[in-house]
Structure formats: C-alpha cells, structure tokens
Structure 1
Amino acid sequence: MPCTALPRIVPRPEHNISRANISEHALKVLYRLRQENFQAHLVGGGVRDLLLGHEPKDFDIATDATPEQVRQVFRNCRLIGRRFRLAHVHFGRDIIEVATFRGSGEEGDDTDRRLENGMIVRDNSYGSIEEDALRRDFTINALYYDIADFSLIDYAGGLDDLRAGRVRFIGDPDQRYREDPVRMLRAVRFACKLGFNIESATEAPLFTLGHLLHDIPAARLFDELIKLLHSGYGLAVFEKLRHYGLFGHLFPATEACLTQQHQEFPLTFVSRGLANTDLRLQEGKPTTPAFLFAIILWEPVRLAYERLVADGVAEADAIHAASSAVCSDQQSLVAIPKRFSLPMREIWALQHRLAQREGKRPYRLITHPRFRAAYDFLVLRAEAGEADPELATWWTRFQDASSQERASMTESGGKRRRSRSRRRRRKPADTASEVPG
C-alpha cells in the first residue's frame, strides 16, 4: 500500500490551489466548521482537479464533525444515506457534501460497518483524518486541502501519482474491488477522464472480476454509466470497458453482437455514436442519455426486428416486440429510467417510418417530438454503413425545402420506395438469407 508513516504536508506557497477557485458555498461550509472548532478539509476530486488546473464539478468536504453535528451547525442541512451517512448543505440548487472521517475499525458488533461476501453494505464507523485517507479508493482522491492553514495533506502518495499520471489503489486492489465492485468502473472513469494510466496491480483484477458487477443494484449501475458515458469521453470509456471485458457484463446483448459483427457495422455505429455524443458535450450542445442508450442497444434490437420481419411480422409490431424484449433483458442489469427508455424506444420505432416518404407521411413525421433525435440516429446509421445514405440525404433536404420542393420530393420519394419494395417481394429467399441469425 502506497502509504507514508507521516503525512506529506505541502504549505501554501508550494502548491497551486487558491481559494479564488473554490466555490463560495464550499468556503462558507469550511469556515463555519472551523469556527465551531471542527476540522474542515476540501477533499477528493475537487482537490485533484484544482491541482491539475481543471475546474471541479463538485466540492466535497471531510470533517471530524459527525453528520448530526453538521446538521446542528447548518440549518440548511439534510442527512442522507444509510450505507454511507452524509450531510448535504443546501444553497439553492448547489449542494455541498460533507462527510465525517471514516474509521479503520473492522466489522463487528461495536462498529457501524457491515460486509456481506466481502462487499461493504454499510460503513458509518468514524475515525481520524489518517484513517479516512487510507480508507479512500485511489491515492489521487485522498488529498486534503486544510482551510486552517491552506496546506495540502497527502497520506497515500497521491501527489506523486498525480504527477506521474497514474491511477493507483490504496490497499490491496483485489480486496478493494470486492468491497465495492463499482470501483472497477471508477478506475476506468478516472483513467479516461484524466488521461492517466492504471497502475499494473490496480489494473490486473479488472480482467477477472467483472462478474462482481452483477451484485450491484441495476439503478446504481445506471448512475455510474451516466458518469462514464455521458461526460464527454464516452468513446474512450467504451473501448476500455471492452478491453477489460467489463462491457459484456453491463450490456451482454450488445457485446454478443459486437463479437459476431457483420462487416464492422455494429462497432462502427456504436463508436461513431459515442464520438458524436462526446463532441456535442464538449461543445456544450444538448444531449440526452436516451440517445446514448439507443445507440448502445440498437444492434440487438435491429437483429431481433429483422428476424421478426423475416418471419412475416408487420414492421410496426416487429420493432415494438424487439424493443420490449431487449429492454426487458437489459433492465435487470442496468435500470434505465422510463424518462429515458421511452424516448429511446420512440427513436427506434421511428426508424422504419423514416423510410416512408410518400404522401402526407413525411409532413406528419417531421412534427413528431422525437423526429430530430430519430433523424440524427438515421444519419449515424447511414454514416456507419447500416442505413441507406440516400434516405438520410433526402430527409436532410426535406427539412429545409420549400413547400413546392417538398411536394415534388414526396411524390418521387414514394415512387422510389414502392419500386424497392417490389424488388424485395420478388426475392423473399434472398432477403431472408441476409438477415443475421
């Protein structure tokens, strides 16, 4: 374990963290705790990001005050959590999370720490700052900024790992992953987010312990995947998850398609879709997890849909049945909330309707609330070689066309569609033979 006998103290003149870069609400909490004679430290990702010159997303605080004592200090405080008791201090929509130093006590009747099959299910045993530091997951997340003298405190060699661009566990990696398997996803997230390497001992269990993710509640895995895939570096995360064999434990149906891909369509499509989402996030454009998960799960849905159509099921019924089956299987692994799963299924359902270009259908479709997302989805499919590029081009033109041009396009578009349909009906055997099994 990368731990020093005594902490490394870095005085204010020797580091780059300035209070000017810490949120005013976090400073209020830090100073107020100090006024009440409690220790108060900025800790975790906020310290890490400030040292790297990044703008922190959150500012978390560690203290020797218990959650109940924090609530006594702040009237705008709420206590949350049973597994880990935390204090949330509210400033409008801004929430400052305050955690009490965790202790190193072993599980027992005299502690509030419980493990089941090696996994932490409850941990509210409190202790000193040193114990708290060595109970954290990665060294780069165990750095403390002391508001009392503005110094940095490093108990676990985090500063050296930060300079080396290294993600390293505190303690035995195998044991730490078993305590909380989500830490495997966190290791991948920090490596991709920061552009760091995962230290060899920390990396090795990632290849063998992916099955432990099945013990994590599906709703919690959804939350973790949003952090992983919807933060601007989703493509890198996807590639690394597949490298370690973790992706298949999260999305087994998609992984099965990727390992038996036909002309690289599934992998190209997912990669392009994730890269597109990353770019939009980096440019500050709106995105939705519904579109992201529609990309990831599309290939198993598409294959099931094509099998049903080949068996004579109507297109609308086939896409509904395929979507239901894939979503039902996926929900037990990663619970996608209805506010995302319903729009996701609408995006899929509109794909076959986008091929219907005759008469009034395009005019009705273009007013559909999910039209733009479905159109973007079609464009990605065309770019990946899975859909007809001419169809995507037609819809691009139709959106900006004049009324006269639209009338002409819908008449000719309908003729083209009917012609292609007749060719398919003359060769049903050939069509069926091209449907992946």
Structure 2
Amino acid sequence: MPNSADTVPTSLRIIPRDQHAISRKDISPNALRVLYRLRDAGFQAYLVGGAVRDLLVGGHPKDFDVATDATPEQVKQQFRNCRLIGRRFRLAHVVFGREIIEVATFRANSDDGSGDRQMDDGRLVRDNVYGSIEDDAVRRDFTANALYYAIEDFSVRDYVGGYQDVEARVLKLIGDPEERYREDPVRMLRAIRLVAKLDFSIDVATAAPIPELAPLLGQAAPARLFEECLKLFLSGHAAAGFEGLERHGLLPSLLPETAAALAANRSGALRRMLLQGLRATDARVANDEPVSPAFLFAVLLWPAYCRALIALQNQGVHPAEAQRRAADRVTLHQATTIALPRRFSQPMQEIWLLQSRFSQRKRVARLLGHPQFRAAYDFLVLRLSASEEHADDVAFWRDAQLQSGENESGSSDEHLFEGEGEATPRRRRRRRRRSPSANA
C-alpha cells in the first residue's frame, strides 16, 4: 500500500566527524561491539534514532539502537546472546547482562509482496518489509530520529533534513502528518514527549492535526498507552509533558475524567496540585531517585477521584462508602484507556482512601504502621499546594512520626513516590493448640 513517506525526497548529506559533537566515548561499548561485528561480517550497521539525536544536543542516552541491512535471522547468527522478538516489528535483541542493544533491519514503506506488511483501517499493524537505508530513513517518524552514525568514518548520515532540524531544535514528521498519525496514533504522544524532553518547538504542520485526531488514541492498546505514559511522565519532563497534552488537545483522550474535573475546577487548585506533583516527580528523576507509578497515577487521577467523590456525596452516599466507590469508579473507567496494573492501582487507591483518616487523628500508631502511610503522608503534604486547610494535619502527623521514633528526613524526602506500592502481607497469627484436658 502506498504511503505518503514514499514521496518524501531523500538527499544524502554526510556530516563529517569534525562538524558534529558525537564521540565514541559517549556510546555504549556494547553498542560499539554490535556495530563492529556486523560490519566485520560484511553488513551495513549504524547507530540510529534517539541516541544519535540526543548525543547531537549534548544529552546522555540510555538506550542505543542499531539499524542494519542484515535480517533478524542473520543478526542472530552473529551473536549467541541474541533473541528475536516481535510480530508487528521483527527485531533482534542482543543481550549484555542488563543492557539490551536493539537491532532492526532497514525497513521499507512500500510492500511489493515480498514482505510482511499489514494495514487495518489506516493503522500499521505489522511492518516487516525490508529495504535500503534510504527506505528506512523515510519510514521513520520524525526527521530528528532519522539520523545514522557510521563507525567506519564517524560521520552522521542524513537523508531527510533531520540534522538541520536538530540544529534548529524543531520536531518535524516525515511525510503527511495526518496520514502518519493515522498509521500509529501513539505518534501524537511521542511528539509531545520529545518536545518536552528536548525542549524543541513542534513544526506547525506536525502539530496542526493533533487536536482533531486525538480521539484516535482510543484505538491504541491500553497496555501500550500505559507504557507510553510511563515514558512521558517518568523521564524527567512530566510537568512540561502534561502541559503539552493540554496545549494540543490530547488530555481528554488520554485522561478523560481528569480533563473534565480540571475544566470544572474554577479555582485551579486541582491543577496546581497536579503540576506540583509532576514537578516533584521531575526533581526525583533528576536526582536519580526512585519514582512509583502508583504515586504518579494517584496524582494524575486525583482530580477525577475528587469529582466522583463529590458527586456520590451529593447523592447522599455515606462518606466512607462514597470514597470506596469513587476510587473504584475512576480506576475502572480509566482502565478502558490505560491498562493500569493492579499492583499500582491498589496502592493508588489506598493513598486516596487514607487521606480522610489524617483529619480524624485516631488510632495514630496503627495508621503510622500502614504499608502506604508514608506515600499517603507525602500526598497530604502535596495537597498543601492546593489548600492550606491541610497544614494542621501535616504538622500533627509530622510530629507523630517524630514521637514514634521515625526520622523526619526518612519520610517525605526519602520515601516520596518510592517502590511499587505493594502492600506488605500481614503475618498470620499462630493458633494455640488446646490440650486434651482443656476440652474436657
């Protein structure tokens, strides 16, 4: 099937080593091993995509991908530590301990019948049609991701103007933007994430179709959207990413109930709290500290929970029952878009449900021992950014931690967002066995 990228003109520009900032010392040694072995075996092999882009702008990529003319089976023949994965995109993963170097064969946009390519209502559901490096360049999503680093002369190869766009710090789609988004709606989220991460502007033509096509995100697999959300919000640019979702009309399609709650909250308090939580997330990522998806989604969905809770209370539902039902309702409704695993959704709900207990100040020792206390307390501290009415509760529970022998610095500062939020199972109490005489 023809594709708009097929009509994109290619013109090779070679940027020599003395005109770019990429150095081999900044490239993973394992990626270099893969590149050199494939080259020595007679194949073309290039470092490609995000790693090249990030190195050019002075970043420090964590993932290094390789593009080659070797088929996945040929790559596997070269590396005993290789496994082949994927149906939609057949890939080779070369495994070095914890590091995986992803190796992809050059792909073409047009299927002459010799490959394995399938479209479904405009969406690309399988793409295993191999081609030349020029074919591969125009098949990629953004021009900034279509740059190839060659180890034979340490140059950067550019076929679609990506080097110029990186220098101008602009994100631009390859081909017709509307068609490329329809092929894969998740590209809209990737555009927002990359603009936030790289501090790029977004090309006018690339941005224009997004608000109208935003509902297409509903066609993406919820599990895939969960992974994309983790990339968007846990890469150190969560606040900018969220604002990008708002600016380009994607928030109602990704977090519909949160979007509705923020629109109805005239004071803007819920939005202030949400952004403060995302900024705290960014600070932890910058300090290389752990961040829990449970806490992240507790922040992202809190406006939706508050709105659902108020609606139930207005219907006369008992407060405790309303809290449980609101938490369940928001979680279930969001799951139709984003598949939030139970190991995160359960502690997320516990963080919400513990908030009402802070104002009661009962059974202090028992609450201090709750598995989610520290995360819930940190959430309470975060709520101060929306309302000062929680100041007395924060002070009380801070003192309670000190009096119970807890180090204050070991609560908020060290445990905010930490871990996966799984509840610690209670120990089962042993039953005493009665002696025969006791039954007499």
Query: CA separation in 2, counterparts of 1:235 and 1:181?
Result: 22
Superposed displacement of residue 402, structure 1: 6.2
Moved more, 9-18 or 251-260: 9-18
Question: Is the 1:265–1:386 Cα contact (8 Å) retained in structure 2?
Answer: no
Question: Is the 1:105–1:111 Cα contact (8 Å) retained in structure 2?
Answer: no
Residue 83 (structure 1) aligned with residue 88 (structure 2): yes
Q: Tell me the residue number matched to 1:125.
A: 129
Q: Tell me the residue number matched to 1:297.
A: 301
The residue identity in structure 2 corresponding to 1:58 is D
Q: Tell me the residue number matched to 1:265.
A: 269
Question: Is the 1:315–1:352 Cα contact (8 Å) retained in structure 2?
Answer: no
Query: CA separation in 2, counterparts of 1:65 and 1:382?
Result: 57
The residue identity in structure 1 corresponding to 2:227 is D
Match of 1:239 among 243, 253, 273: 243
The residue identity in structure 1 corresponding to 2:157 is I
The residue identity in structure 2 corresponding to 1:93 is R
Superposed displacement of residue 17, structure 1: 1.2
Match of 1:100 among 101, 105, 119: 105
Residue 18 (structure 1) aligned with residue 20 (structure 2): no
Match of 2:51 among 16, 28, 46: 46
Q: Tell me the residue number matched to 1:333.
A: 337
Query: CA separation in 2, counterparts of 1:204 and 1:143?
Result: 24
What's the Cα RMSD here?
1.7
Residue 136 (structure 1) aligned with residue 145 (structure 2): no
The one-character-per-residue Cα deviations of 1:365-406 (angstroms, maximum 9, x if unpaired) are: 111111111001111112211752211121122212368xxx
Question: Is the 2:238–2:279 Cα contact (8 Å) retained in structure 1?
Answer: yes
The 5 Å alignment of 1:15-414 reads 15-106=20-111, 109-358=113-362, 361-385=363-387, 387-401=389-403
Query: CA separation in 1, counterparts of 2:11 and 2:359?
Result: 68
> SS state of the match for residue 105, structure 1?
coil
Query: CA separation in 2, counterparts of 1:193 and 1:402?
Result: 42
Moved more, 228-237 or 57-66: 228-237
The one-character-per-residue Cα deviations of 1:104-148 (angstroms, maximum 9, x if unpaired) are: 324x64431111111100000000001000110101100000122
Query: CA separation in 2, counterparts of 1:133 and 1:168?
Result: 14
Question: Is the 1:61–1:96 Cα contact (8 Å) retained in structure 2?
Answer: yes
> SS state of the match for residue 317, structure 1?
helix
Query: CA separation in 1, counterparts of 2:117 and 2:268?
Result: 48
The residue identity in structure 2 corresponding to 1:166 is V
The residue identity in structure 1 corresponding to 2:150 is D
- Structure 2 CA distance for partners of 1:34 and 1:110, relative to 1, 3 Å: closer
TM (norm. structure 2) is 0.88
Superposed displacement of residue 303, structure 1: 2.7
> SS state of the match for residue 283, structure 2?
helix
- Structure 2 CA distance for partners of 1:258 and 1:212, relative to 1, 3 Å: same
**What is the aligned residue count?**
400
The residue identity in structure 1 corresponding to 2:47 is L
Query: CA separation in 1, counterparts of 2:208 and 2:303?
Result: 30
Q: Tell me the residue number matched to 1:415.
A: none
Query: CA separation in 1, counterparts of 2:226 and 2:259?
Result: 17
Superposed displacement of residue 275, structure 1: 1.4
The one-character-per-residue Cα deviations of 1:72-95 (angstroms, maximum 9, x if unpaired) are: 111111111100000000011110
Question: Is the 1:61–1:97 Cα contact (8 Å) retained in structure 2?
Answer: yes
Question: Is the 1:61–1:98 Cα contact (8 Å) retained in structure 2?
Answer: yes
Question: Is the 1:181–1:216 Cα contact (8 Å) retained in structure 2?
Answer: yes
Question: Is the 2:10–2:134 Cα contact (8 Å) retained in structure 1?
Answer: no
TM (norm. structure 1) is 0.88
Query: CA separation in 1, counterparts of 2:110 and 2:357?
Result: 61
Q: Tell me the residue number matched to 1:427.
A: none
- Structure 2 CA distance for partners of 1:5 and 1:230, relative to 1, 3 Å: closer
Unaligned runs of 5+ in 2: 406-440
Ranges of 4+ aligned residues in structure 1 off by more than 6 Å? none
- Structure 2 CA distance for partners of 1:175 and 1:290, relative to 1, 3 Å: same
Question: Is the 2:10–2:160 Cα contact (8 Å) retained in structure 1?
Answer: no
The residue identity in structure 2 corresponding to 1:56 is P
Query: CA separation in 2, counterparts of 1:277 and 1:17?
Result: 30
> SS state of the match for residue 178, structure 2?
helix
Q: Tell me the residue number matched to 1:429.
A: none
Query: CA separation in 1, counterparts of 2:151 and 2:404?
Result: 63
- Structure 2 CA distance for partners of 1:20 and 1:320, relative to 1, 3 Å: same
Question: Is the 1:64–1:100 Cα contact (8 Å) retained in structure 2?
Answer: yes
The residue identity in structure 2 corresponding to 1:145 is Y
Superposed displacement of residue 233, structure 1: 0.9
> SS state of the match for residue 359, structure 2?
coil
Query: CA separation in 2, counterparts of 1:14 and 1:109?
Result: 41
Query: CA separation in 2, counterparts of 1:362 and 1:318?
Result: 23
The one-character-per-residue Cα deviations of 1:144-188 (angstroms, maximum 9, x if unpaired) are: 001222211000101110110100111111111111111101111
The residue identity in structure 2 corresponding to 1:188 is I
The residue identity in structure 1 corresponding to 2:45 is A
